[in-house]
């Protein structure tokens, strides 16, 4: 279930109207809707009163993830699970990178891919990426998680899987970090990076860090005022993915200065590695 908080204080109203609504309207009301099997819970807060956070917390029950209006923060004592746009971003980063790399079909004899995976969680992704390049390297603190994969690749393709705890001196044109970065790493200006979240992003290169699924346009009517369609769509998609309800391709690749289409990212990859 995805919970959305709606709170839009009126810009202008008479004293008597404000007083009436403060006294006779409830502090909040709850409404439920459903999108393709995913339940949405809307909490409408009385716009003429301050948000009653204890009641909001009681409605959520500590289990639901909540999406707040732009610029609104929940007090620390509520311990609400606020959706920040990154809870499922590691999954989307992996899917997004693999999708455009397969579409670009770079010459495997010329391309080199680096997978940044400190926790050793993306072995399956590494296996898929290794099919698209001549040289594959994994930067990880869990080299043991890649031992079996390295042996398998060497036996099947004759190509070694390089594993290191530190970034190599040799630069890689394609860098995939679905789990994000634990530190800022050095990259060349031409490097194409697929990461998740905004923490410790490389300072140079074309760096993608947020991914927009191709959600149906008719879902926009469920997006409440005060919450952008981008954030609503990401939260809804994450909720649906967790419940196994739906899956959609990635259409938007967000970098620092703009959002590229999947087609544009494919062009960038071909320009960078051929």
Residue-range domain boundaries for the chain: 1-82+216-247, 89-212+253-273
Report residue 218 as tokens.
Answer: 């008719």
Whether domain 89-212+253-273 has CATH 3.50.50: no
CB 231 within 8 A of CB 210: no
Please compute the mean of the pLDDT values over residues 69-98 and round it to a whole number. Answer: 82
Q: Is the pLDDT of residue 65 over 90?
A: no
Query: What is the rounded CA–CA span in Å between residue 28 and residue 51?
Result: 8
Enter the DSSP assignment of 219.
Answer: G
Supply 186's token pair: 């050095």
Evaluate if residue 222 carries a pLDDT over 70.
yes
Residue 252 exposure: Cα atoms within 13 Å on the Cβ side = 15
CA–CA distances in Å: residue 66 to residues 6, 37, 44, 104, 232: 11, 18, 13, 37, 11
**Section 25-40 average pLDDT:** 87
Confidence of residue 144 (pLDDT cuts 50, 70, 90): very high
Helix residue ranges per DSSP H, the chain:
15-24, 53-60, 89-104, 123-130, 147-157, 229-243, 262-273
pLDDT greater than 90 at residue 108:
no
Check if the beta carbon of residue 253 is closer than 8 Å to that of residue 265: yes
Per mean pLDDT, which range of 8-22, 25-39, 88-102 is the poorest?
A: 8-22
Q: Who has greater pLDDT, 265 or 2?
A: 265
pLDDT of the residue at 90: 83
pLDDT at position 87: 46
Give the whole-angstrom CA distance, residue 77 versus residue 18: 28
pLDDT on residue 225: 85
Share of the chain above pLDDT 90, in %: 42
Pick the most confident of 91-95, 202-206, 230-234. 202-206
Which backbone phi and psi does 223 adopt, to 5 degrees?
A: -85, 120
Q: What angle do CA 113, 114, 116 make, to 5 degrees?
A: 150
Is the distance from CB of 228 to CB of 210 less than 8 angstroms? no
**Residue 10 clears pLDDT 70, i.e. is over it:** no
The mean pLDDT of 239-255, rounded to a whole number, is 83
- The residue that leads in pLDDT, 189 or 109, is 189
Query: Are 139 and 115 in contact, with CB atoms under 8 Å apart?
Result: yes
Residue 246 has pLDDT above 80, yes or no: no
Residue ranges of E strands in the chain = 2-6, 28-35, 38-45, 65-67, 81-82, 112-116, 135-139, 161-164, 174-177, 192-195, 206-208, 210-213, 250-254, 259-261
How high is the pLDDT of residue 23? Answer: 66
Q: What is the pLDDT of residue 19?
A: 64
Across the range 125-133, mean pLDDT stands at 92
pLDDT at 189 over 80: yes
Residue 101, pLDDT score: 95
């Amino acid at each position: 279930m995805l919970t959305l908080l709606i709170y839009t204080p009126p810009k202008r109203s008479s004293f008597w109207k404000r007083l009436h609504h403060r006294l006779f309207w409830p502090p909040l009301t709850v409404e439920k809707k459903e999108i393709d099997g995913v339940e949405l819970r809307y909490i409408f807060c009385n716009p003429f009163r301050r948000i009653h956070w204890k009641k909001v917390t009681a409605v959520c029950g500590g289990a639901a993830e909540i999406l707040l209006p732009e610029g609104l923060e929940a007090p620390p004592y509520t311990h609400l699970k606020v959706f920040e746009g990154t809870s499922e971003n590691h999954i989307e980063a992996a899917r997004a990178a693999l999708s455009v790399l397969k579409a670009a079909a770079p010459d495997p004899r010329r391309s080199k891919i680096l997978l940044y995976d400190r926790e050793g969680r993306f072995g399956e992704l590494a296996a898929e990426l290794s099919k698209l390049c001549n040289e594959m390297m994994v930067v990880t603190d869990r080299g043991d998680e890649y031992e079996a994969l390295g042996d398998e690749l060497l036996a099947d393709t004759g190509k070694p899987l390089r594993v290191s705890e530190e970034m190599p001196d040799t630069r890689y044109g394609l860098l995939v970090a679905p789990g994000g970065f634990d530190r800022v790493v050095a990259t060349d200006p031409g490097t194409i990076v697929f990461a998740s979240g905004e923490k410790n992003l490389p300072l140079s290169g074309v760096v993608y860090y947020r991914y927009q699924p191709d959600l149906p346009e008719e879902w926009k009517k469920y997006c409440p005022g005060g919450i952008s369609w981008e954030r609503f769509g990401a939260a809804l998609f994450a909720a649906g993915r967790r419940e196994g309800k739906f899956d959609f391709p990635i259409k938007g690749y967000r970098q620092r200065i703009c959002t590229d289409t999947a087609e544009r990212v494919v062009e960038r990859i071909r320009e960078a590695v051929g």
